Every structure is written in structure tokens, then in C-alpha cells.
Structure 1
Amino acid sequence: MFSMILVEIVFCATYSQQSTTMMGRTLLGVLCLSGWNISSCLSLQYHYVADPKNWTEAQTYCREKYTDLATVETPEEMKQLNKTVLSSGINLEVWIGVYRKLWKWPDNYTNSGAEYRNWRNNNRIINYDFKCYVLFHNGEWYGHDCINAESFICYRGSQQNPEFVYVSVKKNWSSAQRFCRENFIDLATVKNHSENQNIQSLVPEYTYSWIGLYWDPDTYWSDGSGSSFRWFSYGYGYTLHPMSEVCGAADLENSGRWWLLNCETKCPFVCYSVRSSVVKRQVIKLRMKPENSSMDLNDPAVKADILNELQDRLKKNGLSGVTLKWREQPDGKVFHKERKMSKKKKKREKTEL
């Protein structure tokens, strides 16, 4: 039976404020999730700004003065944000970095005319359940359930100079899109009143036809973070304004729960920054059981091999940017055989626990 050996490892994780500091945030987040005993995993700081601005103005301000509008990746960070704002004596809605692009075209068209809409009666509220859009024979656009079977409009040519094609076969929205992509370019993107009239002339009287516009269910972060953490208030999106984009605000009267508001609303806001240099240092004790009892673990070459193996295991688990090193004991050695603990000492340690 080989003796157990005690060894101490010191690791340091450092990063600089580059690439929008995302590498450092990700590293510390992985360290926490991997079970490393870090004294603090909150690498960012929130900054409350009382001057009301619309969301885009707030975003510009945060990028100039700090890093970006606040991104929140964990419940702990949400608590930290709430504490930052409430410590200023404020209990209002504040902009954070989350936003939603409500409506998209299936070919991802975002250039001139992408914002064109011809809602029925210029409706200002769109039913949450209707996530795909059809053009009626009179040229008005209606929200429609995506699973309904309707005729549809494809286009060929180019985005700038499309040729619209009416398909009378009725399909649900997804099937219609697949048909258009297999036989033409895509479902129709409608960029202006002239194109809308062109399509209107193709649609038979009292007929609905699918166009490409659809509701995007995803939300995004201003800094491009891939954080999946969400803290929306129940019912936040059951009615949606037919604007192209809505922006997230944390409601401090409701535990910081998020709402989606008109991005032009003037609100105070929260920015975030990441410390320019953060070092996390932790000493870990390991018990190692060598397969060969004759192996000298204090041999420099053996110590280097073990350290490289540990480093490789961290990398395989997605932990890059971590430096490992051995901590030498007062006698200059790293490894020492573990002494057998007396029954009396074991009993005392058990009592202390």
C-alpha cells in the first residue's frame, strides 16, 4: 500500500481589460462553476447613472465612460446590481444592457427599408401569440398563428431588386419558408410601400398570404455576451409594441425584475466595468498516490510532468489563462509522506468539526 502524499498547488488567474473584458469574465465564471474555492467571483463593478437617457444614449455613455450597459450573468450579479442602485436611494426602473429585436426578415435583411411596416389600422399593440405575419388582399399586415395554412409570397432576384412570386398552395409559415428557399430565394421581404403594392396586386381578393416577417423570441446583450441568465417579470411580453426593438429595464420596486420598454423612454441606467487587473490566488492541498513507490516525486522532471498534466486537464475543462505552480515547504521540498494520524488526534479533529 503506497503512502499518500500531501502537495499544495497555487494558481493565479489574471486578465487585462481587452476584447471588451469578456475573456476575464468568462474565466472567473468557469472557475466558480468548476468548484474552485475562489474568495470572490464577481469580477465586475456596476455604476448607477442618474441622468435619464433613452437606451441608445445610455449605451453610448456607458461605452465611453465604462465598458457597456450592465450585463447580468448570475443571480449574485443581479443582487449586486440591485444593491448598487438602491444604495443611491433610487427605487425606479433603470436601463440595463438586455434588448430584443422584435421582428425579423428570414433573409436577415437589415439595410434600408428593413423597418417598413404596414400594420392593420396602424395597430400599436400586437398579440403575443401571433408570431408570423400575413399580407391581406388590401395590403394590410395581420398577425397570424404560424401553424395556420395560407398561400404565400416568395421572391427571386436580389434583395434590392426582388421579383415577387405568388404561391397559391397553402402551407404553414415554416413550410412556406422551406418551399421558397428550395425553389426561389426566401419568403418575401417588403421594404417600402411600392413593394407592398406590388405584392398586394398578386394576392387574390379576401386572401391572406404569408410574407417573411416573424417574431424573434430571443433577447440579446449590448456587449455581445452569451449570458443565458434572464430575470424578466411574469407577463412582460404578453403584448408587444410593433416597433422593431424594445429594451430592458430593471424594476427596483419589483426585486429588479426586468421589463421590455420602448427604447426611446428616458430612464436612469446602470453601466458596468471590469477591474483592469484581477488576480485570484488559491492554495489547494492534494493527496497523491503514486503508482510506483520508488518514484521520486521531488525530482524536478517528475514535478514538471505532473504540473503539465494538471494544466492540460484544466484546459480540457475550458479553463485557460490559469497558472499553476508548486508551493515549496520550508525544507525546499514539495512532496512529503503523509504521517499516520493517531486515534486521539483523529477523535479531536472529528470533535472540532
Structure 2
Amino acid sequence: MEKILLFFTAASAMGAVCILAEREYHFISERQDWTTAQSYCREKFTDLATVEDVQELNIMMTQKELSTLSSQEIGQFFWLGLYNDVTSWRWSMSDSKFYGEGEANFSNWLSGQPDNSGLSDCCTMMSARGGWDDVSCDQSLDAVCFDVRGLSAAFVYIDKSMTWSEAQIYCREHYSDLASVRNMKDNEEITKLIPNRRNVWIGLFRDSWKWSDGSSLSFKYWSRSEPNGPTENCGAGYSSGSGTWVDISCSHKFAFICYKRKLSIKKVALKLRVSSLLDINDPTVQEDIRRQLKQRLEEQGVAAEVELSWGKRSDRVIFHEDEEELRKTDKP
């Protein structure tokens, strides 16, 4: 049979070896402030507890020691790895070659700013007088873009109300990026462009709540009305509230939960049917199928290292024609 010319269905077995990273939680009854608890967990385990979905939350809350926490309200909290990264200010334009020594750290904050008064003030606006303020990224403001030419930049005022993210996209599409302000000279040049009593976006922003181990905060389990404190920058679980989260001052001393990364290996056998005009017993074709299958698994969010290998029968042939499918096609 000239398989390379004929369309047919074939079946094969494939083995998948998955290396799964699981979290093993450990309750520490010793009361510490958040920073000390973080150091302890990193020294003895992996880090302060990270929780990425409801299933992990339920596993963490099975720690029997949680029931021993004091009935006093302040004693019912326990530290997690949550924190508000209020010091992570950086420019949208990330190319380090654009900044001279110390220029990436230049700032011109108004007195008392940044203060996170809106609880999620992660973006920066500049006033017509040149002072900076941290505000919510969802506000609608005009923007200043810049067009980078080597080490110089031409600033461009955009008379269009946008959120910070919309302004970033606009500037990147039409120019180079949202404006970086490297020194007082840049700051003064921008103020000359801003109409009186207008505020504009510049490219300075920061991360908000995230996990101590660097994981992004995709799953959220805040108690009602939380987070609610501009100076409460650490996150704790509430043992009497099914583990719901609150923001609280990092200086408080609570019990805490660490986690240890635990690797497990899981083997799975898969039955694969492939329809193709190609010779699917060709090693090159088989490798392409394996690669595409692995890519599809990654696109579906399989959060593990997966190794795929072909299973072979006693005749050492990977793919065999599916007799049931062939009978269907042979029927008149």
C-alpha cells in the first residue's frame, strides 16, 4: 500500500510522563511579623504560602493547627505570602540602554506621594506644574508619548482621554512608548506641552498585590471590602472566615503558613488516532505530531513539565491502521 498517497486512519499508544510541582503546607505557630515569617519560610522550606486556586486553598485550610489560633480577633489571622509591592516602580520603556547612570530612578513626586490613597494606585500622572502623583490606572487622562531616536527622545502630547493601559498601547503603536522622565530637563520639557490644569499619564507604574515567591495573583479570595488600607501592605488569612484574605500592617505578629515545593511524577497512557496523507510511521512525521501535541497541552494550561514518548507493540511499529475505521470506509 502506498501510504504516502492514501488517506487513512491509524492508532497508536503514547505515554506521558508529567513532573508535577505540588505545594506541601506547614503551619508555624510562632508569631512573627511578615518579613521575619518570610525569612523563616525561605530558610526552612520554600516560601510563605502561595495559593493559586480553590483546591490549594482547601488543602491549606486542612492544617489542623489552624483551629488552635486564639479566639481573639487579632489572633485568628495567619500570614500568607501576599504582599502589596509598593516599591516596584519602573518605566514602561524597559530598555536599559536608554537610561544613563541613575536616570531610571529619577522621580519628582509631589509632597507625601506616592501614598496609595486609592488602595490600587499603581500608575503615575504628572500635573501641568510637573509634580507626580500615584493614581488608579483606570482613570481617564491625556498622555505624553515619546519617540526615541538613539539616546534622545521627542515628547508628544496626546489630547485623548485613556486609561494608563490604553495610553501605553497607543504610544507603542504610534511612537516608542509612554514617556520616561530621566531627569529634571525631561520633566520641564513635558510640562511645556501640558495645557493648564490638565494631568497626563507618564510611563511610570508598579506591581500591585502578588506572592512572595514571585507568582502572579490570578486567584483572589479577599474578604468583603478588602483590601482596604493604604498602609496595610501584607496579606493574612482569616481562620474563622474559611481562609479569606485581609490586608493588614506587616508589623503585626501572627502565626504563619509556609510551603515546600514537592515534585511528583505521574505516568499516563494515551490512545491516539491520527488521520493523515503522510506516512505517519516516518520518524520525522511522528516527531512533528509529538511536538504539536505538547504545544496543544501547554496552550490548554497544563502547568507541568510533560515528556511524551511513543508506545511500541511487539512488532516495534508505533502506528497501526485502525481496522474498525477501515471497515467503515469499505462499506458500499
Give TM-score, length-normalised by structure 2.
Answer: 0.56
- 1:99 has 2:78 as partner: no
Matching residue of 1:249: 236
- Report whether the alignment pairs 1:48 with 2:28: yes
Q: Which of the numbers 137, 152, 173 marks the counterpart of 2:128?
A: 137
Does the 8 Å CA contact 1:250/1:256 hold for their aligned counterparts?
A: yes
Q: CA deviation at 1:51?
A: 4.1
Question: Aligned pair count?
Answer: 256
1:48, distance to aligned residue in structure 2 (A): 1.6
Deviates more, 1:109-118 or 1:229-238: 109-118
- Whole-Å separation in 2 of the counterparts to 1:206 and 1:12: 62
Structure 1 residues 267 and 158 mapped into 2: Cα distance closer, same or farther (>3 Å)?
farther
The answer (yes or no) to whether the contact 1:120–1:141 under 8 Å persists in 2 is no
Amino acid at match of 1:155: F
Contact residue 156 and residue 186 of structure 1 kept, 8 A: yes
CA shift, 1:61, in A, is 2.6
Aligned partner of 1:126 in structure 2 is 117
CA distance in 2, matches of 1:264, 1:194: 39
Quick one: structure 1 residues 117 and 257, their matched pair in 2 at CA, closer, same or farther if it must change by over 3 Å? farther
Q: CA deviation at 1:134?
A: 2.3
Aligned twin of 1:5: none
Aligned to 2:247: 260
Contact 2:223 2:245 survives alignment (8 Å): yes
More strand by share: 2
The partner residue of 1:70 within 45, 49, 52 is 49
Q: 1:155 aligns to what SS in structure 2?
A: strand
Contact 2:122 2:136 in 1 (8 A): yes
* Contact 1:95-1:267 within 8 A present in 2 as well: yes
Q: Which amino acid aligns with 1:139?
A: G
Alpha-carbon spacing, 1:198–1:24, altered in 2? closer, same or farther (3 Å): same
Whether 1:180 and 2:171 are equivalent positions in the alignment is yes
Q: Give the Cα separation in 2 of the matches to 1:51 and 1:248.
A: 15
Q: Per the alignment, in what secondary structure is the counterpart of residue 259 of structure 2?
A: strand
Looking at structure 1, the residues matched to 31 and 158 of structure 2 have their Cα atoms a distance apart, in angstroms, of 55
Q: Which residue of 2 aligns with 1:24?
A: 21
**Partner Cα separation in structure 1 for residue 131 and residue 50 of structure 2:** 38
Q: In structure 2, how many angstroms separate the alpha carbons of the residues matched to 1:158 and 1:62?
A: 47
Query: What is the distance in 1 between the residues matched to 2:243 and 2:265?
Result: 30
- Quick one: structure 1 residues 108 and 250, their matched pair in 2 at CA, closer, same or farther if it must change by over 3 Å? farther
- Is 1:58 equivalent to 2:58 in the alignment? no
Cα deviations across residues 20-65 of structure 1 (Å, max 9, x unaligned)?
xxx332xxxxxxxxxxxxxxxxx6132325241333x433332221
Q: Give the conservation status (yes or no) of the 8 Å contact 2:16–2:308.
A: yes
Question: Displacement of 1:66 after TM fit?
Answer: 0.6
Aligned match of 1:148:
140
Paired with 1:205 and 1:186, the residues of 2 have a C-alpha distance of: 24
What's the CA shift for 1:190?
A: 3.8
Query: Where do 5+ consecutive residues of structure 2 fail to align?
Result: 1-14, 269-292, 312-332
Choose from 80, 83, 86 the match for 2:66. Answer: 86
Distance in 1, matches of 2:158 and 2:267, equals 67
Aligned residue number for residue 3 of structure 2: none
Contact in 2 for aligned 1:45/1:275 (Cα 8 Å): no
Counterpart in the other structure of 2:221:
231
Distance 1:233 1:139, change over 3 A: same
Question: Separation in 2 of the partners of 1:115 and 1:267?
Answer: 37
Q: Does the CA contact (< 8 Å) of 1:149 and 1:170 recur in 2?
A: yes
Deviations 1:250-283 (A, max 9, x none): 123433211234556654432111457x68899x
**Aligned counterparts of 2:308 and 2:207: Cα–Cα separation in 1:** 38
- Alpha carbon RMSD of aligned pairs, Å? 4.8
Task: Report if the CA contact (8 A) 1:164-1:199 is conserved.
Answer: no
Identity %: 27
Secondary structure of residue in 2 paired with 1:118: coil
Distance 1:253 1:121 in 2: 37
Structure 1 position 167 matched with structure 2 position 164: no
Instruction: Measure the CA separation in 2 of the matches of 1:275 and 1:199.
Output: 52
Q: Which has the larger radius of gyration?
A: 1
TM-score after normalising by structure 1: 0.53
Secondary structure class of the residue paired with 1:181: helix
